[in-house]
Each structure stands twice: as C-alpha cells, then as structure tokens.
Structure 1
Amino acid sequence: MRVHVIGCSGSFAGPTGAASSYLIEHEDADGRLWRVLMDLGSGAFGPLQQVIDPADLDAVIISHLHPDHYLDLTGLEVFWAYHSRTDLGKLPIHAPAPLPDRISGVLGRAGHVPDGVKTAPFDYHVLADGLRFTIGPLEIATHAVLHPVEAYGFRITAEGVSFAYSGDTDSCQALDELAAGADLFLCEAGYIEGRDDHFTGVHLTGRRAGEVAARAGVGRLALTHIPAWTDPAIPLAEAREVHTGPITMVRPMDILDVSRSPDRHAARNAQ
C-alpha cells in the first residue's frame, strides 16, 4: 500500500502546497491497481492531476466537511460530469450525509445534478461511526473523532498491513483505538503547545500526536496538517519529546510506503 501526499497544509492551502488530500494505491492479487482518494481539500485538485488521471479513481472518502478537506470535490465533479469519456459511470463518494447539499450550495444550484447533464456524477455513501466497508482489496473502518463538526478518522487494512489517518481531531479515546498497532499513522498536528492552548476540541499538537502514537504502539508516525504560519520543526520536536519511534513530517508529493518492519513483525510473532 502506498500513500501519495497530494496536499498537507493545515486549515487552508499554503504558499507551497494544497490543503489535505491523500491518494491511496494498492495492487490486488490479480495485479489490478486500486486508487482511493482520501480528502480533497482546497487547492488539491490541481496537484492531484500531476499524479494520476482523475478518471482512474475508484472512490473518494471524505473525513469531514471543512473546506480544507472537501472543497475541491467541486472541481472533481465538473471533471466527472462533463468528461468526453462516456464510460466513467458514477464515482463512489463516502462522506458525511450533508455533503451533496453542501456541494450544491457552494455551486448555487438546486439539487445534485450539474447543469446540462441528466444524472449526478457521484454515487454518495453516508459515513457513520463504527462503519466497515471495502473498496476492492482495501478494508476501511471509520471512527468518529473529536472536532467541531462531524468528523471521522479512517483505518485502512490490506494484506496484513494497516494505515491509520486521524483526520482532524483533538485527543480522544476513539483516536487511540483508531491508531492501535497501525503500521503507519498519518496524524494531524495543527497546533503548538502553549500557543494554542485556548482552543479545545479542535486539533492536536505535535506533543499530543506523539502521545497517541506512543500509547497506540504504531510502527511509524507521519505528521501532517501544519498551517502556513507554523514552523514544522516545532510540532516535530514536540512529538519526538514523547514518542521514541520513527517520526516524519510529510511534504507535498511525498510517497509513504505502508509496510510492516521486520523487527516489529518478529516482535508480534514472539508475543
């Protein structure tokens, strides 16, 4: 399993990259490559097209309905609705229930069908806490996390490896459960200790992300969602103070390999 970082800027598109968006790729036993997009925030549809032809997407999953995580779905809808190809069908979109109305509101239209076409290009599937579903070889579990709006983290497994994504959240038990034993934990760290203490129930700091990773026993921690006004070295240092495992700070166009390290695999077998 691979995770392409399309955008990772926190809360809004930054001067050097788009807001949150991650492309998951995994090849099944028959050699078929599956591509699932996880979030498509403001500014992310452009760089996505540098990585793949969007017509090759198999599905999209959206963690929550803040613009930095879903807004560029409006561009993807235009692409899918008006493409010259006639064989695209409907693209599955797994998201909180209000998404279709939210997109229609942004575009100033009534209903979910774009102007000039006969059917909606997206096939919407509503997310809920504790939901489990599959997309090709990928098994996906949702966990409702702590954020001002309905928000989910995702745990994705395939062929014995596991990838956990925090979405946007503050510390909560659901996040610990989501991350438990994950081979790769992609976790937001949008706040800084001391500077942002007056905000609660919104985002993690680097320290709190590191504490979750340590409690969960993850294989690797990858920090993301750093806003443009924050030096990424600060949340990275905070996380390293409390978590001794491997930690990286993601950047646009990084490719993260989701695999189990030999040492960790051997340790599990010895238990």
Structure 2
Amino acid sequence: MKLTILGCSGSVPTAANSASGYLVSFPDSPSIVMDLGSGTLAQLELHQDPCDAHITFSHLHADHCLDFPSLMVWRRFHPTAPAVSRNFCIGPKDTPVHLGRLSSDEVDGVDDMSDTFAFSPWVAGQRELIDEVYMTPFPVLHPIETYALRMEHSKTGKTIAYSGDSAYTESLIDAARGADIFLCEAAWGASSEGKAPNMHMSGADAGRLAREAGVAKLVLVHIQPWGDPQAALEAARAEFEGEIVLGAAGMEFEL
C-alpha cells in the first residue's frame, strides 16, 4: 500500500501545491482517492489512469471536491481510455446533488453519476469494505457534514488516518488510534487561540492528537499559502515526540 499526496494546500491551491487530495494505491486492485480538490486531477494523471480509482470525500467544500466534475468528463468522454466499469464514490449524503449540479448542462439540473460511479453515503462509525481495505468515517467539527477517515488494509493491518477539516475533537483520537500515518490538518499554524471556532486546528492540536492516539507518523497538511508551516511544525513537536513531516505535493509513503 502506498500513499501519495496529490495536494495538501489549505483552502486554495498554489502553482506548486494543489488543494486537498490523497492517493492510496495497491498492487492488485484499484486505488482509492481521499478528496479531489482543485488541481488534484492533473496530479492524479501523473501517477495512474484516473479511471482506475474509487473516490471518497471527507466533505464537500470546494478545496476538497472541485476536480470531481472534470474527472467525470475524463471517465465518460476520453477518446481512447474512458472508464470501462463503475467505481465506488462514497461521501456525505448530499454528494450526488452537490457535485451533480457542478457537472450538469442545466443551471438547475443535477447530473446523474450512476453511469460511472456507484454512490453510497457515509454512515458515522460504519466500516465500508472497498476491495482490500476497510474505511470508517468519524464525524468531526466543521461547518458542514464532515468526516475524518480511517483506512485499514485487510491483509497487512497497515492504517492511514485522515483528519479531513476539523477543529480539535476527541473523535479524531478514535479515528487515528494506532495509525501508521496520520494526515492531520494544521491550518491555524502554531495555535488555535483567537481563531474561528469549530473550523480548523493548529500544529499544537495536531501534535496533541497524535500523542493521544499513539500514531507512528504525523503528517501536517492543509496549511494555507499565507500560513506559517514552520510554526505549525514546531508547535506539533512540542506536543508529540514521534516522527513529524510537513506534507508536500508529490510526497510518497510506503506502508
């Protein structure tokens, strides 16, 4: 199992770092993409056939889902390599309507994805089997329906946890417990003090969660272009003695 960061820029993409998107690939089954924000489809094309992937969403803010309509075009209309079968799409319950409006030809229309994706909504705490892995959604604190995602490989037991976007909440401890890699947002930099409530976390929050969950490796992500990644890293180190990495587009982790 291999994790590749397609992009991890917070809120908006940059020329060097797409918005949120994480590719998990396997030797003998389709890959799984967690979020598909602005710019991530182009990065996915560098690594594999974009059609050979299941798509999951933590939530439906634009920086986590906006490349999905373009993926639909690729899957349906590529002249030589369109999708030959359906893949899974799993996300918040409003995903088909929210993303269907973005890819509809009509202003008030809703494009039906069922020709190319089999959609099912997350049910909080319910494990979903996707080929070789189990994925479990954990509700977190954000202005819209949002989940942290826990991915467990059924054969090796290797585990990836992804915070999605969230303020600090104990459900993230359960999502990340014992994970080999914890992708955790640190949008507020060093501290969440004085920041908007129920939105995001800081490096200190991420480090505290990593310590309490007992993760092996913490990867800090979703830091905005105007943020302070070094401050987030130092604050996380003050809370967590394990390995910490500042996430960047193109990073790969073998599990």
TM-score by length of 2: 0.92
CA contact under 8 A between 2:128 and 2:136: conserved in structure 1?
yes
**Number of residue pairs the alignment of both structures matches:** 249
Counterpart CA distance in 2 for 1:17 and 1:87 is 27
Runs of 4+ in 1 over 6 A off after TM superposition: none
**Structure 2 matches for 1:87-166, cutoff 5 A?**
88-108=84-104, 109=106, 110-113=109-112, 120-158=115-153, 159-166=156-163
**Structure 2 matches for 1:1-271, cutoff 5 A?**
1-27=1-27, 32-57=28-53, 59-84=54-79, 85=81, 88-108=84-104, 109=106, 110-113=109-112, 120-158=115-153, 159-193=156-190, 197-258=194-255
C-alpha displacement of 1:193: 4.0
C-alpha displacement of 1:25: 1.2
C-alpha displacement of 1:184: 1.1
Counterpart CA distance in 2 for 1:180 and 1:150 is 22
C-alpha displacement of 1:86: 6.3
Counterpart CA distance in 1 for 2:179 and 2:250 is 22
Counterpart CA distance in 2 for 1:195 and 1:147 is 14
C-alpha displacement of 1:168: 0.6
C-alpha displacement of 1:196: 6.0
C-alpha displacement of 1:160: 1.7
C-alpha displacement of 1:231: 2.7
Structure with greater Cα Rg: 1
Q: Over residues 60-115 of structure 1, what are the superposed CA-to-partner deviations in whole Å (9 max), with x where a residue is unaligned?
A: 1110000010110011011112133466122211011111111232235323248x
SS of the residue aligned with 2:120? Answer: strand
Question: In angstroms, what is the RMSD of aligned CA positions?
Answer: 1.7
Counterpart CA distance in 1 for 2:191 and 2:177 is 27
Counterpart of 2:31, as a letter, is R
Q: Give 5+ residue unaligned stretches, structure 2.
A: none
C-alpha displacement of 1:43: 1.5
CA contact under 8 A between 1:15 and 1:228: conserved in structure 2?
no
C-alpha displacement of 1:12: 1.0
SS of the residue aligned with 2:228? Answer: coil
Structure 1's 196 and 16: CA in aligned 2 closer, same or farther, altered over 3 A? Answer: farther
SS of the residue aligned with 2:204? Answer: helix
Counterpart CA distance in 2 for 1:93 and 1:195 is 33
Q: Over residues 127-175 of structure 1, what are the superposed CA-to-partner deviations in whole Å (9 max), with x where a residue is unaligned?
A: 1211211111111111111111100111111112111111111111110
CA contact under 8 A between 2:75 and 2:83: conserved in structure 1?
no
SS of the residue aligned with 1:54? Answer: coil
Structure 1's 196 and 81: CA in aligned 2 closer, same or farther, altered over 3 A? Answer: farther
Aligned-pair identity (%): 32
* Farther off after superposition, 190-199 or 243-252: 190-199
